[in-house]
Chains A and B, each alone.
Chain A
Amino acid sequence: MTASVSLGRQIDAVVIGASAGGVEALSVLLSAVPSGTKAAFFIVLHLPRDRPSMLAEIFARKCALPVREAEDKESVAPGTVYFAPSNYHLLVDQGPQLALSADELVHHSRPSIDVLFESAADVYGNRLLGVILTGANEDGAAGLAAVQEGGGITVVQQPETARSPQMILSALKLRPADKVLPLDGIAALFETLAPQGVPI
């Protein structure tokens, strides 16, 4: 299928939530993000809470943008990929600025996708793109709905192409997404985030 990849508006931030199978899916997507992309990326990938996350190191090699683990009260730099650290919720605050929280687990998860998406929807409104990928729980459904209520664009991975479709199906059950795409369709969407006419 050829994805219609026009977003038709400026996107300042992309939030991505993934769980089981997420490392493989993110490898495809983050490799596709062109250098020169101005949007900031915030990512929650569920991992065991009792050890440090290595995600920033792993994906730094695969992505044209700088990839970092989010730090508390850090100002958001455009064109940067931020991963939530292990055992903390990641929130976006006014500024935009990053904030962490050690509040209770949400859907048995910390970091939780809902917590990230709801806070980002509040800050970015209709300049936000929310993406739910493969996963085997229900985290992210309420968050993606919040992105849509804030005027943002919502995308889910095509469930048949996901290693674990449950998270996507939960999101779709709560609220139809604006786009349902296989990974290469989402990758194509990300390629449009870089400003047109960037000198090569």
Chain B
Amino acid sequence: MDAEVDSAPSATGKEFHIEMALLIDAIYRLYHYDFRGYAPASLRRRLKAAMVRFGCQSLSQLQDAVIHDPAMFPALLDFLTVQVSEMFRDPAYFRALRQRVVPLLRTYPSLKVWVAGCSAGEEAFSLAILLREEGLLANTLIYATDINPRSLQKAATGVYEVERIAGFTANHQRSGARSSLSDYYTAAYGRAVFDKSLKDHIVFSDHSLATDSVFAEVQLVSCRNVLIYFNRTLQDRALGLFGDALCHNGFLSIGSKESIRFSAHADQFTDFDRAEKIFQKRAAL
């Protein structure tokens, strides 16, 4: 029953890493999407799922397909960028935003908010609803950005499967809601369509934290559970962009298990709510 002692390391792992680097380079050169700064472990898992989906025995086969069949790339991009989110994810975070950040946001005549890596729009709509409840949406513009055009298209429709609404509603209630989530959507044919009055305050657009620059000055950046998919170098680039985009004393929210402490830009920010990972940009020195 003793383990067979076999000193040969896993060869398949090494080959996969080489193939992964080649595929990512090919995607960058051909389609100008830059995944070179993504954390390899998650990327590896997603690419393995893509291999199954596209019936490829190896990543080299997948690379061959994606180089010679441009029509396939959008589907692969879905695998590489899939973000699983929900409305009012981490209700305690939204409660902190409502109780501690909103009073300071009220002091601005108008607001700009940047949701970086918005995926299918759940976070952007959650913020729009929260700001509507707090009476701030009328003077707010939310920029919701992502690199995946198909995600942006889906997000812009504001349509979600009705099965997801119960979870969204429970989260919303726990966030200190001042209204009912059902005030903001119409349900029909298994779908919930969120109001145009929310969408009017959200601009969905294509933006890459890996290759693009800052496009506006904002008072709040929300980038939750996006940085975990980046390596430290790309995290650092993204945090630099957020620092540049934020006005002095502006707010940055990251995911509950994310950290800015490995970044050279960490000293641009102070802890505002340590538990809920809300930071404030330091005023000019």
Whether a CB of chain B sits under 8 angstroms from the CB of A47 is: no
Is the beta-carbon distance between B228 and A100 smaller than 8 angstroms? yes
Given the complex, which residues of A lie within 8 Å of B257, measured CB to CB?
71-72, 85, 88, 100
Which of A33-41, A90-98, A164-172 faces chain B?
A90-98
Given the complex, which residues of B lie within 8 Å of A103, measured CB to CB?
42, 45-46, 82, 84
Given the complex, which residues of A lie within 8 Å of B44, measured CB to CB?
119, 122
Q: How far is the CB of A150 from chain B (nearest CB, A)?
A: 4
Is the beta-carbon distance between A73 and B232 smaller than 8 angstroms? yes
Of B5, B84, B228, B259, the residue contacting A8 (CB under 8 A) is B5
Majority DSSP secondary structure for residues of B touching A:
loop
Whether a CB of chain A sits under 8 angstroms from the CB of B57 is: no
Within 8 A of A (CB), among B144-165: none
A150 to B3, CA, bound (A): 13
The digit string for A173-193, where 1 denotes a CB below 8 A from any CB of B, is: 000001110000000000000
Is the beta-carbon distance between B228 and A72 smaller than 8 angstroms? yes
Of A122, A149, A150, the residue contacting B41 (CB under 8 A) is A122
Closest Cβ neighbor of B44 among chain A residues: A122
Given the complex, which residues of A lie within 8 Å of B240, measured CB to CB?
none
Is the beta-carbon distance between B10 and A8 smaller than 8 angstroms? no
A122 to B42, CA, bound (A): 12
Given the complex, which residues of A lie within 8 Å of B41, measured CB to CB?
91-94, 99, 101, 119, 122-123
A115 to B46, CA, bound (A): 11
Closest Cβ neighbor of A98 among chain B residues: B41
Is the beta-carbon distance between A73 and B229 smaller than 8 angstroms? no
Given the complex, which residues of B lie within 8 Å of A151, measured CB to CB?
6-10
**Given contacts A72-B257, A115-B45, are A94 and B40 in contact (CB under 8 A)?**
yes
Given the complex, which residues of A lie within 8 Å of B9, measured CB to CB?
125-126, 150-151
Given the complex, which residues of B lie within 8 Å of A119, measured CB to CB?
41, 44-45
Within 8 A of A (CB), among B113-153: none
Of A72, A126, A154, A180, the residue contacting B258 (CB under 8 A) is A72
Of A8, A71, A118, the residue contacting B3 (CB under 8 A) is A8
Of A4, A71, A125, the residue contacting B10 (CB under 8 A) is A125
Given the complex, which residues of B lie within 8 Å of A123, measured CB to CB?
13, 41
Whether a CB of chain B sits under 8 angstroms from the CB of A153 is: yes
Given the complex, which residues of B lie within 8 Å of A150, measured CB to CB?
9-10, 13
A72 to B42, CA, bound (A): 12
A interface residues (Cβ-Cβ under 8 A, vs B): 4, 6-9, 71-73, 85, 88, 91-94, 99-104, 115, 118-119, 121-123, 125-126, 149-151, 153-154, 178-180
Pairs of residues from A and B, 5 with the lowest C-beta to C-beta distance, nearest first: A91-B41, A150-B10, A178-B3, A93-B41, A125-B9
Q: Please name 15 further chain A to chain B contacts, defined as beta carbons within 8 Å, in addition to the given A100-B258, A101-B229, A151-B6, sorted by A numbering.
A: A8-B5, A73-B232, A73-B259, A91-B45, A93-B41, A99-B39, A99-B228, A101-B45, A102-B225, A125-B10, A126-B7, A150-B9, A150-B13, A151-B7, A178-B1
Enumerate 26 A-B pairs (CB-CB under 8 Å) in ascending A order: A8-B3, A8-B5, A9-B7, A72-B227, A72-B228, A73-B39, A91-B39, A91-B41, A92-B41, A93-B39, A94-B40, A100-B258, A102-B83, A102-B84, A102-B225, A102-B228, A102-B255, A119-B44, A119-B45, A122-B44, A126-B8, A126-B10, A149-B12, A151-B8, A179-B1, A180-B1
